[in-house]
Structure 1
Amino acid sequence: MAGQTFPFTSSSQRALRLQREWLEWEDRRAAAQRCRSLRWPSSLQARLTRPRRCCRDPAVYNALFSGDLQQVQALFQDEEAANMIVETVSNQLAWSAEQGFWVLAPKTKQTAPLTITAARGYTDCARHLILQGAELDARVGGWAALHEACAQAQPDCVRLLLTFGAKANVLSDEGATPLHLCTAPESLQCAQLLLEAGAAVNLAAEGEVTALHVAAARGLEAHVALYLQHGARVGLRTSQGETALNAACAGAEGPGSSWQHQAVARRLLEAGADPRAAGRKRHSPLHNACASGCGALAELLLRHGACARAPNGAGLTPLDCALQAVRDAPNWEPEGLFAALLDYGAQPVSPEKLKHCANFPRALEVLLNAYPCVPSCDAWVEAVLPELWQEHEAFYSSALRMVNQPRRLQHLARMAVRAQLGSRCRQAAAQLPLPSLLRDYLLLRVEGCIQ
């Protein structure tokens, strides 16, 4: 057996090398501490409280920011150098109240050599600094090296720092943990390493925001799944009363970019998230989805029990929020979202609000068919663009002809059935033995005219 060899993968070899270096570093640090306690016991406190040396040397900047290992080894040869403060000055735009315009103003930023190298993925440079005595959890400038490594998605540096004893739950000056800063899809491995090292998944930062809130708001499905596997609680609320589901729906940025947040919302709902949980302003996840114009996300919430009628603190229903979103998304087709809300029990909007979708004839048709009689309202007529009226003259003319006129018996029958089914209209229509054309008509299919 002694003559046999075992194959090691590159990751296994790297882990063994890190473990060996860590043990050697621990031995040297313990020996140094014993030596100091024997030779200089009276000066130890003075050394610990001595201010750090501040550096603005361009040679130091170039070595650290470029990852030049030879220069780093030459410049940082002791503990004092490894723990110096690196100070940078850059010009940034700032508003001048006295002059009344934006001006370039110098801004000073302080950081540490280890933080710089960890943020840029210079693992060899970071290892050298650690072996020279760089403080792993020093928060020069507000963040520790582990914060920067996670924020910049540098898993090798995260692994290195954790191997040498960096605290997985180290707090920034704002109270954020490294897990809160895993905000990019590429940072998933960083999050895994932190959790394996004991990071507290439910630890809240400023505003009672957890890592789950952050990942949900950014649409990071893989991060959300990882946190849920490690015990993340979906019911935790921020200081504003927002759950992670609220954050996911609020983070969606329009009809064409919501699929990531929809996937996150599905994960959270499957884990038991409450689709009706509203924040302090009574703004529910459905309000957020409708305000962003995310029809598929809104339908997902409705299928899981979200209330289509509930008003928020300003008295706006989800349908009101969807109408307001129309103005911000001119290329959107909102009729699907409007129909879904009405099928799940939303009440027709007040006639004066129809002007918000006057230039969306298909959406306007859906809303007009929610009334037993087309209401009289000049506001939406005046809002229609002349070129759009010409293009869809058949629809707009039919709508005008039916103002305050009796609707067909077929439409009145549809209204009666929908009123009977209430918020169960869409589910019931799928189960009733109806021809597809009749089912579509019941669910406010767009026909291009009002009769």
Structure 2
Amino acid sequence: MSGETFAFTSSTLRSLRLQREMVEWEERRRAASRELACRRYQPVTRGFLAFPRPGRRPQYCRDPAVHNALYTGDFHKIKSIFKDETTTNLIVESVCEELAWSAELGMWVLTPQKQHTSPLRITSSRGYQDCVKHLLLHGAEVDAVVGGKAALHDSCANHRAECTRLLLSYSADPNILSEEGLAPLHLCTTQESLPCAQLLLEYGALVNQNTRDRRASPLHVAAKHGLDDHVKLYLCYGANIGHRNREGETALNSACASADKPKAAGCYYRVVKRLLESGADAQLAGRKNHTPLHNACSNCHLRIVELLLQHGAEVNIRNCAGYTPVDCALQAVEDYLEGEPEKLIATLLNHGAAPIHPKMLKFCALSPRTMEVILNTYDRILSCDSWMESVPSEVWQEHHVFYDSALCLLNQPRSLQHLARCAIRKQLGRRCHQGIAQLELPSSLQEYLRLPLEGYLK
């Protein structure tokens, strides 16, 4: 087969790679031995000006047995392997195959990528407290940043409170930054990490320390993940509630923008409530001039919208694209059909939202209830083929009573009762949500003024 290529199997390639690693390891070992021998027989002279001692060269470990002992927390093996400063500060190296784009081949290929960590990082991330203590007692550098992070980053990210306490008691820096510019407090992103956050602050972590790139504070991170207890903790330690990140967003903006999952709605509601009660400004706009109300409407979060409106959010402010909060809510209707978007639209209209242009009705094609609320704000229904054509036939058939009543009223006068409702709502304007309750009218008529759903138009 001298003129042909040999088809390597995966096992063959793995064997060749292991052999290459063994050769590299042996070469490094021999080089280290030669250097040690030279130092041993070289005379040492100490003059008036002494040169500083060179730092320790990093030692790499690729032994699977050592890796297995660390990842499984085998305390007896770890005690037998890591006995001094040199071994406890080994760099644990592993190789994994990752997809990378090859411009030469014009395709994605698997390429070996080296990953580095340390014994202290591995044991801290897995909560092996006895192993962590053994490594620290035998000279492990508590603040060593290996593979981009220190051990304290891993213990906090994996909510290992006891390991976090142990590292801090051995003088770990609570404000140490990773290569990505994150402090340990920025990695407390789950409810289970609250004890770690408390320990960090007790040991001097800076509550207003920002990430290097986005300039986000721990309060931003907690608000983004809907962590009410973390938010409360940071505010007690003096977190700056008005701080803006690089995109100009406050913690309130982050919370409202991240509340996009209905299952986590309660968590974000509590965070927003706490921030507003602590003095957060409901009108501060962030990225693309999005206010918290824009973000909450985009996520169809009725309770947060009501909170923001109660705290002075402007209902008709426009973002950079010219959209009001109502526009954002309409564009999200199809994504949140189960979130009762019609109630959100009615709430915004009752707080003085400007009349909705008929061209926006196309966004309500799958929600006839939302369309009913909007059409009941018009004194007459204009012919508009765009929204009629956007309604799927199956939806039209299911709600034919409503759509047939709308067709009958095209370019026709509405009932006198409805026209009176439109006149009263127009007169009340932004005070509609409060003014209706103060009118000396029967409760049934007050409810009629609030745009109730009837399933048809008249």
Range with bigger deviation, 415-424 or 206-215: 415-424
User: Structure 2: how far apart are the matches of 1:180 and 1:287?
Assistant: 26
**Which residue number in structure 2 is paired with residue 398 of structure 1?**
405
Q: CA deviation at 1:256?
A: 4.4
* Pair 1:258-2:265 in alignment: yes
* Pair 1:202-2:208 in alignment: yes
User: Structure 1: how far apart are the matches of 2:218 and 2:299?
Assistant: 23
Q: Quick one: structure 1 residues 95 and 421, their matched pair in 2 at CA, closer, same or farther if it must change by over 3 Å? A: farther
The aligned amino acid for 1:120 is: R
Q: CA deviation at 1:70?
A: 0.8
User: Structure 2: how far apart are the matches of 1:201 and 1:432?
Assistant: 49
* SS class of match (1:212): helix
* Pair 1:317-2:324 in alignment: yes
Q: Quick one: structure 1 residues 164 and 283, their matched pair in 2 at CA, closer, same or farther if it must change by over 3 Å? A: same
Counterpart pick for 1:383 among 382, 385, 390: 390
Deviations 1:137-163 (A, max 9, x none): 111111111011000000000000011
Counterpart pick for 1:334 among 338, 341, 356: 341
**Which residue number in structure 1 is paired with residue 234 of structure 2?**
227
User: Structure 2: how far apart are the matches of 1:99 and 1:324?
Assistant: 43
User: Structure 1: how far apart are the matches of 2:455 and 2:303?
Assistant: 23
Q: Quick one: structure 1 residues 422 and 82, their matched pair in 2 at CA, closer, same or farther if it must change by over 3 Å? A: same
**Which residue number in structure 2 is paired with residue 267 of structure 1?**
274
**Which residue number in structure 1 is paired with residue 33 of structure 2?**
none
The 5 A counterparts of 1:9-158 are 45-47=52-54, 49-96=55-102, 102-158=108-164
* SS class of match (2:53): helix
Q: CA deviation at 1:97?
A: 5.2
**Which residue number in structure 1 is paired with residue 283 of structure 2?**
276
| Residues 254 and 293, structure 1, Cα contact 8 Å, conserved in 2 | no
| Residues 212 and 227, structure 1, Cα contact 8 Å, conserved in 2 | yes
User: Structure 2: how far apart are the matches of 1:412 and 1:103?
Assistant: 68
* Pair 1:435-2:442 in alignment: yes
User: Structure 1: how far apart are the matches of 2:106 and 2:378?
Assistant: 53
Counterpart pick for 1:307 among 298, 301, 314: 314
User: Structure 1: how far apart are the matches of 2:443 and 2:405?
Assistant: 25
Range with bigger deviation, 269-278 or 255-264: 255-264
Range with bigger deviation, 87-96 or 293-302: 87-96
Look at both structures and tell me which one has the larger radius of gyration over its CA atoms. 2
Range with bigger deviation, 397-406 or 268-277: 397-406
Q: C-alpha root-mean-square deviation of aligned residues, in Å?
A: 1.9
- After TM superposition, the score normalised by the length of structure 2 is 0.86
| Residues 376 and 451, structure 2, Cα contact 8 Å, conserved in 1 | yes
Q: CA deviation at 1:59?
A: 1.4
* SS class of match (2:154): helix
**Which residue number in structure 1 is paired with residue 18 of structure 2?**
none
Q: How many residues get paired?
A: 412
* Pair 1:249-2:265 in alignment: no
Q: Quick one: structure 1 residues 95 and 289, their matched pair in 2 at CA, closer, same or farther if it must change by over 3 Å? A: farther
| Residues 281 and 313, structure 1, Cα contact 8 Å, conserved in 2 | yes
Counterpart pick for 1:356 among 360, 363, 366: 363
Q: Quick one: structure 1 residues 396 and 256, their matched pair in 2 at CA, closer, same or farther if it must change by over 3 Å? A: farther
The aligned amino acid for 2:177 is: L
The aligned amino acid for 1:143 is: K
| Residues 254 and 329, structure 1, Cα contact 8 Å, conserved in 2 | no
- After TM superposition, the score normalised by the length of structure 1 is 0.87
User: Structure 2: how far apart are the matches of 1:315 and 1:101?
Assistant: 42
Q: CA deviation at 1:358?
A: 1.8
Q: CA deviation at 1:44?
A: 8.7
Structure 2 stretches of 5 or more lacking a match? 1-43
Identity, % of aligned pairs? 54
* SS class of match (1:278): coil
Counterpart pick for 2:454 among 434, 447, 450: 447
Range with bigger deviation, 225-234 or 417-426: 417-426
**Which residue number in structure 2 is paired with residue 187 of structure 1?**
193
* Pair 1:170-2:173 in alignment: no
Q: CA deviation at 1:402?
A: 1.2
Structure 1 stretches of 5 or more lacking a match? 1-38
User: Structure 2: how far apart are the matches of 1:348 and 1:341?
Assistant: 10
Deviations 1:47-97 (A, max 9, x none): 4x2321111111110111111111111111110111111111122334455
Range with bigger deviation, 175-184 or 93-102: 93-102
Q: CA deviation at 1:299?
A: 1.4
User: Structure 1: how far apart are the matches of 2:434 and 2:45?
Assistant: 79
* SS class of match (1:296): helix
| Residues 255 and 295, structure 1, Cα contact 8 Å, conserved in 2 | no
User: Structure 1: how far apart are the matches of 2:371 and 2:232?
Assistant: 39
Q: Quick one: structure 1 residues 433 and 151, their matched pair in 2 at CA, closer, same or farther if it must change by over 3 Å? A: farther
Deviations 1:295-332 (A, max 9, x none): 22111111111111111011111111111112323434
